[in-house]
């Protein structure tokens, strides 16, 4: 599937929801594998930088196991063109509990941890890291679940920060489904969506086995417009774009 991917050069510009959907990360830029097992609760971090294709130029990601089984792999998370086919893959062994969190707040600081799953790491998110992008003309966040091999539920959240430091968090549950998940931006009324400075989001298992893949996330215009364009979405950057080939899910 071919898509035009928005460059992170859009920062500081107004995004036009009437024109198109905007992808903030298509997981072309790889990391991992983050692999945790045969031990107690622990975390692993990765920091991926690419100004062309990641919102704010950087993805900070953390994989944490909170309930371990002693297996060689309790949880694994990796992304990239090879071997994941430009997708983020997260798996969790039966009996283990893990979560994945990603932070997009520019490139000025080290890995951050914040959100409803974080209990031990400090919150050092740069709430002005994205420079105040305007999401007010969009209707929804989205993420695309391309595979859920075990068809089990998982929880997810999105947190949005504006440049004044205000924040809002929404928690949801995916009931073992695949396809596009939409999250209405009206859930973030507590922040100024014309001045967004950072976004974090993540997902968490409940002890069941998990094996999912996500190929992109971003913001969408009216769902009716999405239906017209289907999966061949056009994404225009403020200063340019690049064309890429998306891999198929396993």
Task: Report pLDDT for 70.
Answer: 72
Question: Which helix (H) or strand (E) covers residue 182, if one does?
Answer: strand 179-184
Task: Report pLDDT for 242.
Answer: 36
Task: Report pLDDT for 136.
Answer: 93
| Cα three-residue angle 45-142-247, rounded to 5 degrees | 70
Task: Report pLDDT for 237.
Answer: 32
What does pLDDT average to in each consecutive run of 10 residues of the chain (250 residues)?
Answer: 40 51 90 76 78 87 83 82 80 88 84 57 78 94 92 91 94 92 96 96 88 94 49 33 38
Collapsed DSSP state (helix, strand, coil) of residue 50: coil
Backbone angles phi and psi of 122, in degrees to 5: -80, 160
Collapsed DSSP state (helix, strand, coil) of residue 185: helix
**Alpha-carbon distance 130 to 197, whole Å?**
5
Domain ranges of the chain: 2-245
For residue 100, whether the previous peptide bond is cis, meaning omega lies within 30 degrees of 0, is: no
Task: Report pLDDT for 84.
Answer: 66
β-bridge partners, 64: 43, 99
DSSP label at residue 155: E
Question: Up-side HSE of residue 243: CA atoms within 13 Å toward CB?
Answer: 3
Task: Report pLDDT for 110.
Answer: 61
Task: Report pLDDT for 219.
Answer: 95
Q: How does 82-97 read in b/e, with b if 16+ C-beta sit within 10 Å?
A: eebbbbbbbbbbeebb
């Amino acid at each position: 599937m071919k898509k035009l991917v928005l460059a992170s050069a859009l920062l500081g510009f107004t995004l036009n929801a009437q024109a198109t959907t905007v992808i903030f990360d298509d997981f072309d830029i790889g990391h991992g594998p983050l692999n945790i097992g045969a031990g107690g609760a622990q975390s692993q971090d990765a920091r991926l930088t690419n100004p062309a294709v990641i919102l704010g130029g950087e993805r900070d990601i953390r994989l944490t196991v909170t309930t371990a089984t002693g297996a060689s792999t309790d949880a694994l998370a990796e992304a990239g063109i090879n071997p994941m086919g430009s997708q983020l893959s997260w798996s969790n062994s039966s009996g283990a509990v893990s979560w994945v969190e990603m932070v997009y707040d520019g490139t000025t600081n080290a890995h951050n941890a914040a959100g409803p799953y974080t209990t031990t790491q400090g919150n050092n998110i740069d709430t002005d890291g994205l420079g105040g992008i305007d999401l007010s003309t969009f209707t929804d966040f989205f993420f695309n679940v391309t595979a859920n091999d075990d068809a089990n539920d998982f929880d997810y959240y999105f947190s949005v920060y504006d440049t004044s430091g205000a924040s809002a968090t929404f928690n949801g549950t995916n009931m073992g489904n695949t396809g596009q998940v939409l999250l209405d931006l009206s859930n973030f009324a507590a922040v100024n969506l014309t001045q967004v400075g950072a976004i974090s989001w993540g997902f968490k298992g409940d002890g069941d086995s998990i094996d999912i893949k996500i190929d992109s996330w971003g913001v969408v215009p009216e769902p009716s417009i999405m239906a017209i364009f289907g999966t061949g979405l056009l994404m225009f950057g403020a200063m340019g774009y690049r064309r890429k080939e998306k891999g198929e899910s396993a």
